[in-house]
Each structure stands twice: as C-alpha cells, then as structure tokens.
Amino acid sequence: MPKVIFVDVDGDETVVELDEGASVMEAAIHGNVSGIEAECGGSCSCATCHVYVDEAFAGRLPAPRDDELGMLEAVAAPRRANSRLSCQLLVRADLDGLRVALPETQV
C-alpha cells in the first residue's frame, strides 16, 4: 500500500498507508491527521483540505481541474504554486512516499 507523509506546521510527520485510488484527504481522515478539515467530504466545494505538495512529487500529479483551481482561490492560508486540494489527489503506487505539508489554517 502506498504511503503519504503529512508534515504539520511544526515539522512533525505522520505517515499513513492507504489503498491505491483513495484520496490524500481520505488518508488524512483515516490517519487522524490534524489540520485537514474536509468539511465537504471530498466534493471539491470547501477548500478545507488544502495542502502544499512537495516539489519532488508535483510533476507526477495530474494538473488541477478548473473546479479545483476555483476552490484554491478561497483557501484560508496563503496559496502557493504547489497548493492543491487533497481531496483531488488520488494515490497511486508511483506516488508512494508522497509528502504534503499542512498550512497553518484551513478556515
């Protein structure tokens, strides 16, 4: 099972294993990762699962769709070039070890 590494604002890491095809947001929820609110449950309509994708993985992910780009305009923490909504990131075997940093706030 692929692993996702969540890095909180203090630099502490939480590693969560999940099945391929699950979202990074689901990994956070199942792994009890603090800092992912996921108020909409993964329907790309709240921007409370914002993460910063490690640059080493950014090029391996599909480009964000228009709905995700629109929601990224509403994130509470500063938006960066590597900002993504974790509900839109599906885990694949080749993404094993994906690192995402959590922003200071989601709301």
> For residues 19 and 13, what is the distance between their CA atoms, to the nearest angstrom?
20
pLDDT in tens, 13-44: 999 999 999 999 999 999 999 999 999 999 99
pLDDT in tens, 45-78: 999 999 999 999 999 999 999 999 999 999 999 9
> For residues 62 and 64, what is the distance between their CA atoms, to the nearest angstrom?
6
The whole model's pTM is what? 0.96
Which pLDDT belongs to residue 44?
Answer: 96
- Contacts of 35 by beta carbon, 8 Å cutoff, 6+ apart: 6, 8, 9, 28, 102, 103, 106
pLDDT in tens, 75-91: 999 999 999 999 999 99
Q: Which amino acid makes up residue 33? A: V
Q: Domains along the chain? A: 3-101 (3.10.20.30)
Which pLDDT belongs to residue 95?
Answer: 97
Which pLDDT belongs to residue 84?
Answer: 98
Which helix (H) or strand (E) segment holds residue 25: the answer is: helix 24-30
